[in-house]
Amino acid sequence: MHERPLPTSRLALALAAAAALVACDGSEGPVFDEDAGTDAGPALDGGPSDVVAPRVVGTSPADGEEDVALDATVVVTFDEPMDTGRGEVRFPTVARALAPSASWNAEGTELRVSVAGWPEGATVSAALEGFADLAGNPLRVYRWSFTTAAVPPIVASSSPAEGDAGLSARIDTIELVFSEPMDNTAGSVAFADDVATVDGIAWVDGATLRVDVSGLAYETSYTLTLDGFVDRTGNPLDGEPTLGDGALDFATGVDEDGPRVTDADPSEGQLDVDTARVETITVLFDEDMDTSVGAGELSIDGEDGPVALPASWADAREVRFDVAGRLLTGREHHLALVGFTDVAGNALDGEPFLGDGALDFETGRDFIVPFVGFSDPLEGADDVSFRRDEVRIVFNEAMDTSRTELTFEDDLGASFSASGVWSLAGTTLTVPVAGQLASGRSYTVDLTAFRDLGGAALDAAHPYLGDGALDFALGAPTGERCNDALTLDQAVVEDGVATWTLSADQAQTYDGSTPCDVGERSTDAVIRYTKTSEGSAGGGTLLHVVVQGGGANLDVYQDVCDPLSIAAETAQLKCLWFGDDEWDAYLDVGPGDYYLWISDGGATLDDGVVVTVEEVDAAPEGETCADPWDATSPNYTPPAAPGDPGIWVFAEEAFRSFDRDVTWGGEGTMPCDADYSGGPIHGPDGVIEVQKSSGSSILQIDVQVTGNASADELNVELLDRCDPLAPDARSLACEANIEENDNPTQLFHEGPAGSYYVWLATARTNGVNDITGVAAREIEPGPGDTCTTAIPIGVDATNAVTPAGTERLFAPSCAPAGESLTWYRFTTTEALSRVSTDVAAAVGLVDAASGAERGCGEDALAQEVAAFVPAGTELCVAVPSGAGIGAITVEAVPYQGVGGTLTPLSIDRPFDAGGSEDSITSDYWMAVTPTTLYMGLGTNDVMRAPKVGSVRAELVSDMLGDDQLGHDGVAIGEAIFVLDEDDRPAGEPRIHRIVNGAGTFGITAWDAGSSYVEEDMDAMGFDGTDFVVATDIGSSSDPTVFYAVDP
């Protein structure tokens, strides 16, 4: 053997010392073992060692399974008894509120996990981490995913209810209550045929929608259509329950409502009415009136009896009274409306607007200066809602209506202006302010510029306003929307750190935050933080944001609050989702408003989510490219001797924030980590700057993790620039999901001298909870140490060789663990090259130009290793130096490629019993008869289709189950035989014919009475006479058994 102990063993010693600080008994100290292969398990007394790692032989739900019940129990089956005290089942995509509980069967081979309830319509990623068998052999992290049943939302109730009739046409609000929280950014409503008007919609909470309507008529049927509504997992509204046709249908009844006055000129209660200007009194009603009835009776204080005034109708809703020369200056006037009815004969309801059924006003000669006598909100109000959509100012007399704009100034110096609409008499100004008033702010509206019709200025000293300005304040914010954002006033501030603790009722609706999250939309809350200092470039500070608890998401925008706005995409600084317990973010930004959106995937926020914000001078070393770890870092140990590595050792939580991009999945994501259905994903990251002093050397990076490493897999990437988003940055090497069983993971690079950057990141979104070590060294390769310095050998020749390489660089996948390698090189002369050795030894074939592995085999004596590459390609051959190889034979084989033409069969997916397309994801076996293609889908279904294609496959599942189907099937003529996979008592059938020679489905046990061992069976073949089946054994202590079965 030529196994040179790598200098990187010093990394193990350094890590062991660090681990001793956190594991005082020393039992969990790491071992930097370059040959941690099959000798890892302890020996068993009196018998052979169990050195075979356990395997997962089945899961329920299966990988890729769809429409999984929301109360489904996860069942994992192992091929041997497991250590039931080790391991964790994780569901990282839906980690919130699952409350999982686990139990084992008596044999320790089956694990059952129950949860409080799966989220509907969600892709659930599952992972087994940290498991081992009874001998201590670890299970490699096992991942699979399934999709839960999509339960569509429905309208649970409404007001008016579906089918209600006899309603008043005065309805101005419709309320819809859905069965679950909805995506509050989606959906619209409208009246069919536009017979009425939808004035606006607003979500009262996550599941309740208020619809403002107008223009309803009596004795009319209405249909309110609902379009585009989806729940927070994207399931569209099912309109059939409750509504029937997907729309809300209702009808108004006979008009039994008394008509009401909506406006008048002069206005009710108006003062200083100029008798010279008013010749006609005008009154407006809210519905069509009977224009043949009704009159006015004008009474003037101090004068005899009322005077009858005939009604003159401008239209069915506007009546006028001629009062030219009838009004007296300085008197109170009362116009009683007598005998008025609507077209249905209902008498006037005089209480709204008028109060007593009469229009009251007072005349004058403009001796009274104008003042504000009423406002909504009231002067001095301190609990105004951010949902308020208008402000109303009521003056005592008719004003100059050319001024329509109000300016609202808040206590922080900000302001906005809005224009309003005057009432008929010019006494009331109504100004829309929807979405512009912010919780927690105090507002002042200066009204001193307003004038009456005579030009008289507003009486600023009038007792109602006191200072000529309307003052009011909004209530404390809750974080519900942008104009309700939490601020420093709601935080606890200590030593410059602001802390907000959110509660479950903090917010109710979803406002579009965290668009990077491919999963469920959730209730969100927003915090506004105002930064006044410059960023680091200007000698200022960084923002440090931390979110803890509840699996919360963090979505940050600069100077833009609304996540759905066009400007949000460029304003977004971070979008961190898929979280566990904490998010950290360091933001090097200047002055501005920063909006922090917090969500957690649930219908409500989890109680106790804590958000902290502080301004810091710099991020910790290693967090960002501004200050990467390097040879001056305190956690660095320099090489003890030439050729030894320099070592960085990282303790728990050494890096905490995600810094490579706005979110993962983009250009800043490590390209090798793509094991999640939502795309590449990883968590907190840190960066090391490594110096390469020689252009001819090999840079070797060794990464080692220890502790409960399977729960905190690591990703590592080597770059030639620190910033992965730099236009000229190149990824030189990348490895994902590193765990303790992989120690050490090695990256190599041949390139020019200079600075290189090693990025570390957790493979999930939680922080680093294990001791992690990185070693870097330069190696000057000798002959045969690399593909570049490979020793030439001939083609179509047996080459005498003496492998003597002392390094293990760029090892192919089949290279024995820990052994040094020697590299040889030849130029291909044909499209197929075969390489063999004179002793049993591993051989790897690598394309010299690209570094891509083209072939790899563990025993090139028993089976030569082949590579299909064009003639003229430079191929490198890597062999273990200590295998005793004396000769390498290279054979060039003429090869013209695969003959024939690939013909797509165009077979569409089958429909399931519910009429939906079934997925073809758990395809266990395929068998083809002369006429028909059959495929086993999991252990419950078989699909079939004519071999000629251009058809939709047929799903057959009504007669088959997991006691007949398994992982293999074969065709004999038109007949199909399948092999049951599960272990069964001896004597029970394992082979079933499910299709007979005529192509007809029917189950027939084919081997009843056969004496099998009680083991799983996964493989079956047919040699023309007999079936041959094999048991599936996961331990070398129990041999695999083969059986021949006469068909």
**792-805 residue pLDDT tens:** 999 999 999 999 99
pLDDT band at 358 (very low <50, low <70, confident <90, very high): very high
pLDDT at 226: 96
Q: Is 978 within 8 Å of 994 (Cβ atoms)?
A: yes
pLDDT at 17: 47
pLDDT band at 1 (very low <50, low <70, confident <90, very high): very low
pLDDT band at 185 (very low <50, low <70, confident <90, very high): very high
What is the tens place of the pLDDT at every residue in 242-258? 999 999 999 999 999 99
pLDDT at 601: 66
DSSP 139-203: PPPEEEEEEB------EEEEESPTT--SB-TT--EEEEEESS-B-TT--EEEEGGG-SEEEEEEE
pLDDT at 15: 44
Q: What is the arrangement of strands in the sheet containing 821-827, beginning at the earlier edge strand?
A: 791-792, 821-827, 874-880, 843-847, 853-857
On the CB side of 81, CA atoms within 13 Å amount to 7
pLDDT at 92: 66
Lowest-confidence segment of 191-205, 697-711, 998-1012 by average pLDDT? 697-711
pLDDT at 895: 85
pLDDT at 679: 56
pLDDT band at 386 (very low <50, low <70, confident <90, very high): very high
More confident residue, 515 or 173: 173
pLDDT band at 1043 (very low <50, low <70, confident <90, very high): confident
Q: 973: left (phi > 0), else alpha (psi -120 to 50), else beta?
A: left
pLDDT at 610: 93
pLDDT band at 6 (very low <50, low <70, confident <90, very high): very low
pLDDT at 739: 74
More confident residue, 646 or 669: 646
Mean pLDDT of 761-783: 80
pLDDT above 90 covers what percent of the chain? Answer: 62
More confident residue, 32 or 476: 476
pLDDT at 285: 97
Q: How much is the mean pLDDT over the chain? A: 87
CA nearest neighbour of 835 among 895, 894, 888, 897: 888
CA nearest neighbour of 553 among 506, 521, 530: 521
Q: Is 358 within 8 Å of 335 (Cβ atoms)?
A: yes
Q: Given a cut of 80, is residue 4 above it in pLDDT? A: no
pLDDT at 597: 96
- pTM comes to 0.75
Main-chain dihedrals φ then ψ at residue 568, nearest 5 degrees: -65, -35
Q: Rounded to 10 degrees, what is the CA torsion of 39, 40, 45, 50?
A: -80
The CA distance from 286 to 168, in Å, is: 13
Q: Given a cut of 50, is residue 414 above it in pLDDT? A: yes
Mean pLDDT of 879-893: 96
Residue ranges and CATH numbers for the domains of the chain are: 56-147 (2.60.40.1220), 155-251 (2.60.40.1220), 261-364 (2.60.40.1220), 372-473 (2.60.40.1220), 482-616 (2.60.120.1050), 636-779 (2.60.120.380), 791-893 (2.60.120), 907-1045 (no CATH)
pLDDT at 551: 73
pLDDT at 39: 34
pLDDT band at 706 (very low <50, low <70, confident <90, very high): confident
Place of tokens 């082949």: 866
pLDDT band at 19 (very low <50, low <70, confident <90, very high): very low
pLDDT at 656: 85
Q: What is the number of residues in the chain?
A: 1047
The CA distance from 125 to 463, in Å, is: 66
pLDDT band at 1032 (very low <50, low <70, confident <90, very high): confident
pLDDT at 983: 65
Adjacent-strand bridge partners of 584: 546, 657
Mean pLDDT of 825-835: 96
Mean pLDDT of 599-617: 84
What is the tens place of the pLDDT at every residue in 570-589? 999 999 887 656 788 999 99
Q: Is 139 within 8 Å of 53 (Cβ atoms)?
A: yes
**DSSP letter assigned to residue 257:** P
Residue 742: which residues within 8 A CB-CB, separation 6 or more? none
Q: Given a cut of 90, is residue 129 above it in pLDDT? A: no
- How many other β-carbons are positioned within 10 Å of the β-carbon of residue 111? 22
**DSSP letter assigned to residue 816:** P
Mean pLDDT of 871-890: 96
The CA distance from 806 to 824, in Å, is: 14
More confident residue, 673 or 999: 999
pLDDT at 36: 34
What is the tens place of the pLDDT at every residue in 326-348? 999 999 999 999 999 999 999 99
The CA distance from 481 to 462, in Å, is: 37
